[in-house]
Structure formats: structure tokens, C-alpha cells
């Protein structure tokens, strides 16, 4: 493939998919409100990390846009872990709060795992609580991490059944790579998880019908690693001189792949939409209602 080869891949428009998902969520929120239930999402931000502030602001805006209540708790960076745990305890006990999200990263004096595991698992809309991790891994009803859930929705929309497909997940983080692998397994794909010590990554990639890249290195996955016709999901968000770029060399990969997500406008918008989906699911479960259609794996 050369730079003159035309781009042949279908663009997977995560922005449009996420907008449609939010509209469907808003419809379901309206019908819940007709029955006297308003879903509520509490977001806790400790410190002044600029990227986290941007995320929290857009999470609050989109929460309100779909008709849910948004509760923001901004705490100074020097807040003690005990004070944060006390706040989480109050949110756990508050019947108006259906979802709790503690924005990561936390300041270095805090034990992230201890904080996450203090959240009521039923309100853990990020799906990071150890119980939800275990439930996902054992095929039980869980709260599923938002970014991999968004990737799964895009893959199912594009491919229908994932059964028997060779899937390669590049990255083994707790928030993306590992839960992504679990979700793909659950859909009966044959899953390989690659990471920084993996040998022969390009060869593994050339066998994959599905590639999910979650590495955090700009343009890392090369076009000639992609199997012709493969579906490529680029989770990476890397800030460079030219703005945001993904983990996949988009221009080269889009000449070989069957379908590919752009960065920005691919997986990114799905993450917040899935956070709202999880909040709706948590609200339904808290009120003894069936899981909302199409929002859970
Ligand atoms: P992480 O740093 O926790 O994990 C990166 C993973 O990449 C590790 O498991 C590591 O083993 C693997 N890796 C590193 N070098 C490698 C190499 N040479 N070959 C193969 N694997 C290698 O990152 P993360 O939190 O999983 O995030 C990954 C990327 O996804 C980042 O760019 C992040 O900004 C982005 N992200 C995007 C969203 C979204 O909403 N779109 C959400 C979360 C993360």
C-alpha cells in the first residue's frame, strides 16, 4: 500500500453513534421520570488536573442534557483519604444518587484501589470495583467499564456476531485492555491480549479480524500490520503538535482495513455515552426494573 492507494475502509462514526445512544437514553430517562424516578450521577474530582476538569465538566453537561441529575463534588488536592471515603459513604447512602464516579487519577497520597472499592458496587458506573471486575470475568451481571463497553457496541454494530473472530487487544490496563478482552470473550471471539512484552506483535496483528488498540502511543499500529478487511478500533488519545491522534497510523490503516474508528470522533464520544448508559442501568436495577434494552453487554 502506498500513500496514493485510496482509503477503502468504512469510517466508524462513534460521534454519531454516541449521539444516537444519548438520544435513546434521554427517551428512557423521560419515561422513568414519568414514573417518579430521576437518575442521578455524582462525579467526584479531587485536585485541579486540567484534563480531569475538562472531562468532569463535559460529563456534567451531558448528564443534564439527557435529563438526569448531576451532582459535582470538587475537593482540594490536599483532601485526606478519610475525608474522601466519608464523602463516598454519604453518596452510597443517598437514594438520589444512582451512580458514583471518582475521576482518576487521584493525588499520589491516596490509595486508588481502596477508594474505588469503597464505592457501592451497585453505583459503580465506571465498573472498576473489584466485585464488578470479578462479575464480568465470571459472566455475571456487572457494571461494565465505559470505554470497552463503547468499543463493544461499535463492534457489534459493524459486525453483528463476533463469534469465532480472531480479536487482538493491544494493551492490558485494568480500565481498557483487560475488560475489553473479557467482553470479546463473552461474545465468543478468540482473544489475544498483547502488551509491552509481547513478541511478534505485527504478526499477531496480521491474523486479527478485530484489532482494539489501547496503548497510549501515537500512530503505533502500522498499516502493514492490518489484515485486509479487518475492523480496527482505536482507543488511543495522544496529544501532539497536530492535535489529537490515536494509537493507529490512521492514513495507512484505513487503506487496508474494512472499517476503522477515527481519532477524534471514534471511541472517545462513546465513553461518556456509556457512562450515562451505566447510570440508567444502575437506576433501573436500584428500582427493581429490568435492564434498559441495548445498553448492557
Ligand atoms: P495504560 O498506560 O494503562 O496501558 C497501556 C498498555 O499498553 C499497557 O498495558 C502496556 O502493556 C501496553 N503497551 C505499552 N507499550 C506497548 C508496546 N510497545 N506494545 C504493545 N503494548 C504496549 O493506558 P490505558 O489507560 O489503557 O489507555 C490507553 C490509551 O487509551 C491512552 O492513549 C488513553 O489516553 C486512551 N484512553 C482513551 C479513552 C477514551 O475514552 N477514548 C479511555 C481510556 C483511555
**Whole domain around residue 172: which residue ranges?**
145-268
Domain of residue 172, CATH code:
3.40.50.720
Do 256 and 198 fall into the same domain? yes
171 is in an annotated binding site: yes
- Evaluate whether residue 57 is within a structural domain: yes
Dist. CA 151–CA 83, nearest whole Å:
35
Task: With a cut of 50, list the residues of the chain below it in pLDDT.
Answer: none
Alpha-carbon distance 43 to 72, whole Å?
Answer: 5
Q: Is 214 in the pocket of ligand 1 (CB under 6 A)?
A: yes
Number of domains composing the chain:
2
Instruction: Return the half-sphere exposure (C-beta side, CA atoms, 13 A cut-off) of residue 189.
Output: 27
Q: Tell me: do 45 and 77 sit in the same domain.
A: yes
Task: Establish whether 241 is a catalytic residue.
Answer: no
Cβ atoms within 10 Å of 42's Cβ, excluding its own:
27
What gap in Å lies between CA 209 and CA 227, rounded to an integer?
7
Q: CB of 295 within 8 A of CB of 275?
A: no
Last residue of a domain, one of 68, 90, 122: 122
The whole-number pLDDT of residue 5 equals: 79
What's the gap in Å between 195 CA and the centre of ligand 1? 9
Residues 47 and 110 grouped into a single domain: yes
Q: What is the pLDDT of residues 59-77, one digit of tens each?
A: 999 999 999 999 999 999 9
Task: Check if the beta carbon of residue 199 is closer than 8 Å to that of residue 211.
Answer: no
- CATH number, domain of 55, equals 3.40.50.10860
Which pLDDT value is given to residue 64?
98
Cα separation, 2 vs 170, in Å, equals 25
| Per annotation, catalytic residue among 28, 120, 124, 126 | 126
Enter the pTM of the model: 0.97
| 24 falls within a domain | no
Task: Answer whether 271 contacts ligand 1 (Cβ < 6 A).
Answer: yes
Closest among 60, 55, 85 to 71, alpha carbons compared: 60
Whether the CB of 148 sits within 6 Å of ligand 1: no
Amino acid at each position: 500500500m502506498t500513500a496514493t492507494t485510496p482509503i477503502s475502509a468504512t469510517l466508524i462514526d462513534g460521534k454519531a453513534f454516541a449521539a444516537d445512544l444519548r438520544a435513546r437514553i434521554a427517551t428512557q430517562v423521560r419515561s422513568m421520570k414519568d414514573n417518579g424516578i430521576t437518575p442521578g450521577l455524582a462525579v467526584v474530582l479531587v485536585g485541579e488536573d486540567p484534563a480531569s476538569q475538562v472531562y468532569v465538566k463535559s460529563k456534567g453537561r451531558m448528564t443534564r442534557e439527557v435529563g438526569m441529575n448531576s451532582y459535582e463534588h470538587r475537593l482540594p488536592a490536599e483532601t485526606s483519604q478519610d475525608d474522601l471515603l466519608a464523602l463516598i459513604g454519604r453518596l452510597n447512602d443517598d437514594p438520589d444518587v444512582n451512580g458514583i464516579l471518582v475521576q482518576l487519577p487521584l493525588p499520589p497520597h491516596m490509595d486508588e484501589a481502596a477508594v474505588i472499592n469503597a464505592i457501592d458496587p451497585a453505583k459503580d458506573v465506571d465498573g472498576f470495583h473489584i466485585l464488578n471486575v470479578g462479575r464480568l470475568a465470571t459472566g455475571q451481571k456487572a457494571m461494565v467499564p465505559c470505554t470497552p463497553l463503547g468499543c463493544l457496541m461499535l463492534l457489534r454494530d459493524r459486525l453483528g456476531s463476533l463469534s469465532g473472530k480472531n480479536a487482538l487487544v493491544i494493551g492490558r490496563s485494568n480500565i481498557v485492555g483487560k475488560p475489553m478482552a473479557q467482553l470479546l470473550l463473552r461474545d465468543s471471539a478468540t482473544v489475544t491480549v498483547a502488551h509491552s512484552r509481547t513478541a511478534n506483535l505485527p504478526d499477531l496483528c496480521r491474523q486479527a479480524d478485530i484489532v482494539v488498540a489501547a496503548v497510549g502511543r501515537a500512530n503505533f499500529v502500522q498499516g502493514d500490520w492490518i489484515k485486509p478487511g479487518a475492523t480496527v478500533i482505536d482507543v488511543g488519545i495522544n496529544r501532539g503538535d497536530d492535535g489529537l491522534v490515536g494509537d493507529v497510523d490512521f492514513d495507512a490503516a484505513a487503506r487496508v482495513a474494512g472499517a476503522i474508528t477515527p481519532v477524534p470522533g471514534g471511541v472517545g464520544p462513546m465513553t461518556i455515552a456509556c457512562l450515562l448508559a451505566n447510570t440508567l442501568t444502575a437506576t433501573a436495577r436500584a428500582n427493581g426494573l429490568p435492564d434498559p434494552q441495548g445498553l448492557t453487554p
